[in-house]
Amino acid sequence: MIALLLRDLKLAFRAGGGFGLGLAFFLIVTVMVPFSVGPQSDLLSKIAPGVLWLGALLACLLSLDRLLALDWEDGSLDLLATAPLPLESTVTIKALAHWITTGLPLVMAAPVLGVLLNLPVQGFQWLLISLLLGTPALSVIGTFGAALTVGLKRGGLLMSLLVMPLYVPTLIFGSEVARRGAEGMAVQTPMLLLAGISAASIALLPFASAAVLRVNLR
């Protein structure tokens, strides 16, 4: 499992589809928002949690199209399916590799980009907490979408259409945690719901992804 994780991390960095691309897109979204709404500090402070969460979500989505496609194209996916390692574990490792190369850098960059949107000081810690709780769900759900569309031509567009509705609850509760934290309100309810979504996704979706892959590999 460790060898597979290291392999996927190397492929993500060499292919240029994870770390750099996601961060660059996140930066572009954050920089463009003040140009579109104007330099109004009060307005930027109010929309900062939602904008940062939406930017992180889209940045995660941007790097999903090659998550399983590279293994499909070179035949590695067939070998992984017949390996002693269960396919559910393989899918989980790939989701973990995606989170390490995409989700974790976005979590680390979010407070820095929050300064550009005039995010209140008390909101920084809750933004970090919400992203740490929510981005694993984005990677696991995205892996499920990648499994559904693996091997299809123009599968990236179809995957986006399939995954985006599944991302909505995570976006709602994640941005709500960050917004309430920035405004000094109670965050327990949306934070627990966000953690529950991530826990349920991690517990259930690897089995669904593995089942879909088995069907596609027949």
pLDDT at 159: 85
Give 80's contacts (C-beta < 8 A, 6+ positions apart): 4, 71, 87, 90
> Which is higher by pLDDT, 217 or 141?
141
Question: How is residue 10 written in tokens?
Answer: 């190397």
- Quote the Cα angle for 173-174-175, to 5°: 95
Q: How many residues does the chain have?
A: 218
Per-residue pLDDT tens for 7-66? Answer: 777 777 765 545 678 888 899 988 888 888 877 888 888 999 999 999 999 998 888 877
Question: Among 63-67, 172-176, 212-216, whose mean pLDDT is lowest?
Answer: 63-67
Summary mean pLDDT of the chain: 86
Q: pTM, whole model, 2 decimals?
A: 0.89
pLDDT at 152: 75
Query: How far is 109 from 76, CA to CA, in rounded Å?
Result: 33
